[in-house]
């Protein structure tokens, strides 16, 4: 593994950390930034852990705007958490200011690094087969959205324009097919056909935003299970991480993406697609958890569209993996040449299974909504 640890000491100094570095471990789960857990020993012998992250500038082109958003959002969360009697050091991230006052520092080769606290006594996971913990993950993202419900979205930059505009994602796929720069289009005709056959789904939410039929909220937009820190002792989802894409968006983006990732019976990059399916028990757990904390703020239209959002976000993600494969793998980190194609297969297999289960998902949703009405 290519552990890019050499600059860690320089980065630490830029953030005023002068303790002795005792351990560096890489956190593998993200597809975009490079993340490390770094431990230091303080003069009194105590260990203090931080997260060091190298920002992917290909994806986040303006680090000032990116960090502006994150600092504003975490400051808001901190206030609300304190007002509710919580512990802001554990329930949100705290980013460090570098000695020059900025929330990132620039090292050799224009590498942009940022540092935040590491929330001790927590764990994160890539999959869950425990309904109770998955309920907790829904409750955590529902709470996150509720805490941001009075945050002014116009104070945020769009870190990635049209991030969940599925119509634009579809157009990017069409462009990739047309250009075929990696000469792969012929080998993925079935995948392309699957994507093109569902074009009409792309405009459903986009059109409803334009018509004012769905409220724009401040949303996380990347609500994978592994973006939640669970308390080791209580299994509660106490802290939401990966705040790079917190922007104005739809509750449906957050809900749908959580189901896409967490209610799949297989991993996002499982090679055997026969293992891929939508777990209805996990769906029920998540929707119940989510509505238990966000429920009263959602409109009936939003609630009605929750099952569809799971399909749409899965489809959109599959399109993005396919587009990146056609473009020669320039966006997502990959660990082997077909990785994006494998990811696309799992997403499309999940879309097909969700299509078979939409009615059951709607019935489950209605039952949970009735339970958490107030």
Residue 183 to residue 191: CA distance in whole angstroms: 15
Task: Give the pair of three-digit tokens for residue 235.
Answer: 């299994």
Minimal distance in Å, beta carbon 253 to ligand GN1?
Answer: 10
Total interface residues for Mg ion by CB under 5 A: 2
Q: Other C-beta atoms within 10 Å of 40: how many?
A: 17
66 scored as a contact of ligand GN1 (CB under 6 A):
no
3-class SS shares of the chain: helix, strand, coil, % to 5: 50, 15, 35
| Residue 309 interacts with, from Mg ion, ligand GN1, none (CB under 5-8 Å by kind) | none
Looking at the Cβ atoms of 53 and 309, the one nearer to Mg ion is 53
| CB closest to ligand GN1, residue no | 31
Please list, in sequence order, all residues whose beta carbon lies within 8 angstroms of the beta carbon of residue 294, skipping any fewer than 6 positions away. Answer: 141, 142, 143, 145, 146, 251
Would you state the structure tokens that stand for residue 284, as one six-digit string? 């029920």
Least Cβ distance, residue 191 to ligand GN1 (angstroms):
17
Task: Work out the angle at residue 198's Cα, subtended by the Cα atoms of residues 31 and 174, and round it to the nearest 5 degrees.
Answer: 65
Considering only residues 145-204, where is the footprint of ligand GN1 by CB under 6 A?
none
- The span from the CA of 25 to the CA of 127, in Å, is 21
Site for ligand GN1 in 30-49 (CB under 6 A): 30-32
Contact with ligand GN1 (CB under 6 A) among 80, 143, 198, 224:
224
Binds ligand GN1 (CB under 6 A): choice among 91, 242, 324, 353: 242
220 vs 311 by CB, closer to Mg ion? 220
The listed partner (Mg ion, ligand GN1, none) that binds 268, CB under 5 to 8 Å by sort, is: ligand GN1
Residue 26: phi and psi, rounded to 5, are -85, 140
Query: Of these partners, Mg ion, ligand GN1, none, which one is at the site of residue 317 (CB under 5 to 8 Å by kind)?
Result: ligand GN1
Q: Does 254 bind Mg ion (CB under 5 A)?
A: no
Q: Between 241 and 287, name the residue whose CB sits nearer to Mg ion.
A: 241
Segment near ligand GN1 (CB under 6 A), from 28-36, 106-114, 128-136, 171-179? 28-36
Q: Which of 19-27, 40-48, 236-244, 285-293 is the region at the interface with Mg ion (rule: CB under 5 A)?
A: 236-244
Radius of gyration for the chain, computed over Cα atoms and rounded to the nearest angstrom:
21
Residue 21: exposure state from Cβ atoms within 10 A (0-12, 13-18, ≥19):
middle
Judged by CB under 5 A, which of 191, 242, 316, 329 binds Mg ion? 242
Please tell me the distance from the alpha carbon of residue 127 to that of residue 270, in angstroms, as a whole number: 12
Instruction: Judge whether 346 and 278 are in contact, CB under 8 Å.
Output: no
Binder of Mg ion out of 91, 191, 222, 353 (CB under 5 A): 222
The answer to whether residue 267 forms part of the interface with ligand GN1 (CB under 6 A) is no
Is 245 a binder of ligand GN1 (CB under 6 A)?
yes
Helix or strand run (H / E) with residue 41 = strand 34-41
Quick check: 268 binds ligand GN1 (CB under 6 A)? yes
Least distance in angstroms from the C-beta of 228 to Mg ion: 12
Beta carbon nearer to ligand GN1, 249 or 289? 249
The answer to the question of residue 222 lying near ligand GN1 (CB under 6 A) is yes
Q: Which x/- pattern, by CB under 5 A, does the window 69-108 give for Mg ion?
A: ----------------------------------------
Dihedral angle over CA of 342, 343, 346, 351, nearest 10: -130
Report in angstroms how near the CB of residue 31 gets to ligand GN1 at its nearest: 4
Locate 294 and state its tokens.
Answer: 């966000």
Could you tell me which residues come within 8 angstroms of residue 242 by beta carbon, excluding any fewer than 6 positions away?
30, 220, 222, 224, 227
Dihedral in degrees, nearest 10, Cα atoms 127, 130, 131, 134: -40
CB of 182 to Mg ion, least distance (A): 24
339 forms part of the interface with ligand GN1 (CB under 6 A): no
Mention every residue, 6+ apart, whose C-beta is less than 8 A from residue 285.
131, 132, 134, 135, 138
Q: Report the interface residues with ligand GN1, using CB under 6 A.
A: 30-32, 59, 222, 224, 242, 244-245, 268, 317
């Amino acid at each position: 593994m290519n552990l890019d640890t050499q600059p860690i000491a320089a980065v630490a100094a830029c953030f005023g950390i002068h303790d002795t570095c005792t351990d560096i471990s890489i956190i593998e789960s993200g597809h975009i930034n490079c993340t490390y857990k770094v431990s230091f020993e303080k003069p009194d012998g105590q260990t203090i852990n931080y997260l060091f992250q190298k920002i992917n500038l290909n994806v986040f082109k303006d680090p000032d705007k990116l960090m502006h958003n994150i600092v504003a959002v975490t400051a808001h969360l901190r206030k609300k958490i304190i007002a509710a009697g919580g512990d802001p050091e554990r329930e949100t991230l705290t980013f460090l200011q570098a000695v020059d006052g900025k929330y990132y520092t620039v090292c050799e080769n224009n590498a942009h690094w940022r540092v935040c606290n590491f929330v001790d006594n927590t764990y994160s996971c890539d999959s869950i087969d425990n309904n109770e913990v998955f309920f907790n993950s829904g409750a955590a993202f529902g709470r996150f959205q509720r805490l941001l419900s009075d945050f002014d979205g116009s104070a945020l930059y769009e870190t990635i324009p049209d991030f969940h505009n599925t119509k634009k994602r579809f157009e990017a796929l069409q462009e990739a097919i047309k250009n075929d720069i990696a000469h792969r289009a012929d080998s993925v005709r079935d995948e392309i056909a699957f994507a093109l056959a569902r074009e009409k789904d792309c405009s459903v939410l986009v059109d409803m935003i334009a018509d004012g039929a769905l409220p724009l909220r401040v949303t996380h937009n990347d609500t994978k299970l592994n973006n939640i820190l669970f308390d080791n002792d209580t299994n509660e989802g106490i802290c939401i991480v990966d705040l790079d894409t917190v922007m104005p968006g739809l509750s449906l983006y957050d809900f749908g993406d959580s189901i896409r990732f967490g209610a799949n019976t297989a991993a996002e990059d499982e090679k055997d697609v026969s293992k891929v399916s939508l777990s209805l028990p996990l769906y029920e757990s998540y929707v119940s958890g989510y509505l238990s904390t966000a429920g009263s703020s959602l409109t009936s239209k939003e609630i009605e569209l929750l099952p569809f959002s799971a399909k749409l976000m899965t489809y959109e993600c599959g399109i993005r993996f396919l587009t990146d494969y056609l473009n020669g793998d320039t966006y997502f980190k990959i660990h082997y040449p077909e990785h994006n194609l494998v990811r696309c297969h799992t997403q499309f297999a999940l879309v097909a299974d969700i299509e078979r289960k939409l009615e059951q998902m709607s019935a489950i949703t209605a039952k949970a909504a009735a339970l958490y009405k107030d």
